[in-house]
Structure 1
């Protein structure tokens, strides 16, 4: 009975959010509550859920203050010089432009928000792609790959979801995966260079009148705009800004940022505190890696210091906090809502019954490989369903089954996040739809170029995690 109710609850939850009949937050609260009542738990559901909320409080605090911190750093201009430097560095060489796309995406992705990252990247680099006649599909491919891979940072979403669903610490999930993340980024860099060299050769072949005789350096003699690909999305929002910039040809770097989150005229810029903000951010990253303080407390202190130093006036501090409230509420409420699902699954005994059923059907020979199996399952599963459906619905069941074979929950969590490079390309992810829209790229063209590369990156992360000891066998 509990097995049937458990799987039916998970299926109902996934169906409702995948068909958009209900928002994930409401489904997380209402569906488990209804099914929990069918188990006869009654008013006992309250204690189950409150216990789960206590376990998730650290993760909720981490998400809240990490999102706020990186949002403030973008607002005050910490990344502006980097963007301008990358634009200057890449020049007119397509290979360098594509590699710079990966680098810029990687840095901006540290804020954990895909939409913000893609707005910044397209605002900074799409005019260069258009001026050189490069394919914007290359931009979406490299940006999507890089952001999807860095989506595993603890405040990005998947790691926090996995930690919350399995009641483990987000730092314990993420920090041991840093070497695998580094290897994956190297692979993406190789893909970016290959795509850039391919673009360079194509332009030399198709538009020889614009090129000198030298292979390297991209000696463009005059700026031209690139043609829009088939299936272009209608213009709107930041796209109009990008097109206006592209028509300026060799305009200044500052002009390419007008109307975006990196607008050079925004009131929140604090150039006098640039070096302080840089040192503060580097210090936080170092402390994150050495793991001497809880991540949630680390970002609490970092956010407080950043606000006091950059915005001494209380009224300005209030504005900055309020300015990032929408994304904070969206993410933190999701984590707290997940406490209802995980609390019901564990408190009613559903997850135990479901895992015992899985153990019964999984051959003993495959049991010790449950973490690897979970990693492989996460690749197609997170593409076909939302992160909420996978991490809160599927992962707890797989993890409980793995526990019977001696596979720790934290290893299952680490393996489960390796599918994120593929997940980010899913049409279920709003951020990727924003990216292809801003770049005027057909989603099908994007998938043709990115999916197999994303699969390679996911498999590299999983394999390196196993080889480097982050993901253990039972």
Structure 2
């Protein structure tokens, strides 16, 4: 068994702790934290500028599609916002909730589960957050509850055989992902039922928070919620935001429905896998601009209007490429994974897969997905197998324990996309969601043990 490099372990842990601490502290931009800290750490270890350039190139390759997709997705949804495409839909959703926060919470779970059938986190966030965020804001609900529920629902659905976790795990133990997925189907069903129940409970908590805010004067007092007034206020607010575009945008009813057709086409090509999501949004923007704005100057102006949000989060994702590239390519992440296993007592070898599964969400905050599955899983499987634990059982324990925490980890590029769409802060998201996600992960692992999927 490969021995960890103590210096690499200490340096890697230091970089991760300092970076995550800075992100949670919220006093510096994520671009600063994820660029300066790992570069300084690499230089301190003796790596040269050429090495750091190679680290960055490797990290950039892994996120470039997301960067392109994000830029054009923000512009794409910005154009749809300019055109008011979602306004009638959001208005109808507001009316259908009848002002019941709990129904909104439950609906979020179901919508996100359907959106994540393709197994792509970025696609799920692009489909759900722009559509649901206005509803949350209209009802004074927390955008971090939206992020939590969408993240949990997407994580549950990410156990599909075409999702990254199961493919990685199957590759490590030499099994077919389709065969491994069969026992997970009932577990996914149970997990969704658990999440709907959790969403209802969180909805109750959200109602209390909103009422408390009203009591302290932080939110306007409304007594019984007038859903129609909320819907009317939302419509009026949207119209006010687009006041400068009045008379400049093609607002004919036929244009509206043609825009709907373009949206359906873009989403269909993306979900069906006919086109790369980045190319789907590039083509969508290219079609929507002349369809909705009849002059080149106005089309350029609208792109400029949406560019700041797009470029800011693109910069964050590129900074994440520095962070991931340095830690991965320098060997720090692998050394950390090896060191973590060494602190576990030998007497608990037959339960090692369950222990590491329980620690899956915190490990997701310390190691990348690839490091977890390609470094930690082989070592845990090799150890547990000596105590008669099947390789599939070990793989299930680590997948189930880890997958729930995917979208609370700064290592997940898609999370930065979600944060940009929700205009949220990474530190607040971690504080709001981490313990709930970890608790849900442990509960789901216990259910997997009861179902006999994970052996003990």
Query: Residues 103 and 47 of structure 1: is their aligned pair in 2 closer, same or farther, counting only changes over 3 Å?
Result: same
Structure 2 residue 306 is matched with structure 1 residue 324: yes
Matching residue of 2:4: none
Normalised by the length of structure 1, the TM-score is 0.60
Matching residue of 1:65: 72
Query: Residues 70 and 455 of structure 1: is their aligned pair in 2 closer, same or farther, counting only changes over 3 Å?
Result: farther
2:212 aligns with one of 223, 229, 234? 229
Matched residues in 2 for 1:301 and 1:16: separation?
38
Superposed counterparts of 1:156-167, under 5 Å: none
Query: Residues 276 and 62 of structure 1: is their aligned pair in 2 closer, same or farther, counting only changes over 3 Å?
Result: same
Superposed counterparts of 1:185-196, under 5 Å: none
Deviation at 1:81, TM superposition (A): 1.5
Matched residues in 2 for 1:294 and 1:430: separation?
21
Query: Residues 197 and 350 of structure 1: is their aligned pair in 2 closer, same or farther, counting only changes over 3 Å?
Result: closer
Shifted more, 459-468 versus 275-284: the winner is: 459-468
Matched residues in 2 for 1:358 and 1:372: separation?
13
Matching residue of 2:405: 419
Aligned residues: 384
* Matched position secondary structure for 1:259: helix
Matching residue of 1:39: 45
Contact in 1 for aligned 2:31/2:316 (Cα 8 Å) = yes
Matching residue of 1:386: none
Matched residues in 2 for 1:227 and 1:352: separation?
45
Shifted more, 145-154 versus 284-293: the winner is: 145-154
Structure 2 residue 28 is matched with structure 1 residue 22: yes
Deviation at 1:30, TM superposition (A): 0.8
Matching residue of 1:259: 237
Deviation at 1:331, TM superposition (A): 1.9
Structure 2 residue 28 is matched with structure 1 residue 13: no
Matched residues in 1 for 2:210 and 2:28: separation?
40
Deviation at 1:347, TM superposition (A): 2.9
Matched residues in 1 for 2:223 and 2:294: separation?
35
Matching residue of 2:81: 74
CA deviations over 1:346-392 (Å, ceiling 9, x no partner): 332222322332343456546666984464436xx8xxxxxxxx37x
* Matched position secondary structure for 2:274: coil
Matched residues in 2 for 1:465 and 1:75: separation?
46
Shifted more, 35-44 versus 65-74: the winner is: 65-74
Q: Structure 1 regions of 5+ residues with no counterpart? A: 127-135, 155-160, 163-171, 203-225, 382-389, 436-442
Matched residues in 2 for 1:472 and 1:67: separation?
41
Matching residue of 1:121: 136
What's the Cα RMSD here?
5.6
Deviation at 1:119, TM superposition (A): 4.4
Deviation at 1:39, TM superposition (A): 1.6
Deviation at 1:273, TM superposition (A): 2.6
Matched residues in 1 for 2:420 and 2:64: separation?
27
Matched residues in 2 for 1:304 and 1:465: separation?
47
Matched residues in 2 for 1:56 and 1:276: separation?
32
Contact in 2 for aligned 1:66/1:111 (Cα 8 Å) = yes
Query: Residues 38 and 420 of structure 1: is their aligned pair in 2 closer, same or farther, counting only changes over 3 Å?
Result: closer
Matched residues in 1 for 2:290 and 2:250: separation?
15
Superposed counterparts of 1:169-184, under 5 Å: none
Deviation at 1:36, TM superposition (A): 0.6
1:2 aligns with one of 3, 8, 11? 8
Query: Residues 298 and 246 of structure 1: is their aligned pair in 2 closer, same or farther, counting only changes over 3 Å?
Result: same
Contact in 1 for aligned 2:309/2:420 (Cα 8 Å) = no
Structure 2 residue 376 is matched with structure 1 residue 398: no
Contact in 1 for aligned 2:11/2:41 (Cα 8 Å) = yes
Deviation at 1:31, TM superposition (A): 0.9
Contact in 2 for aligned 1:67/1:112 (Cα 8 Å) = no
2:332 aligns with one of 343, 350, 353? 350
Deviation at 1:260, TM superposition (A): 4.6
Contact in 2 for aligned 1:148/1:423 (Cα 8 Å) = no
Matched residues in 2 for 1:277 and 1:25: separation?
35
Contact in 2 for aligned 1:77/1:262 (Cα 8 Å) = no
Matching residue of 2:319: 337
2:60 aligns with one of 40, 43, 53? 53
Query: Residues 111 and 186 of structure 1: is their aligned pair in 2 closer, same or farther, counting only changes over 3 Å?
Result: farther
Matched residues in 2 for 1:86 and 1:101: separation?
12
Deviation at 1:85, TM superposition (A): 2.1
CA deviations over 1:276-323 (Å, ceiling 9, x no partner): 233333333333333232222222222322223222422222232222
Matched residues in 2 for 1:191 and 1:262: separation?
37
Deviation at 1:61, TM superposition (A): 1.5
Matched residues in 2 for 1:359 and 1:90: separation?
48
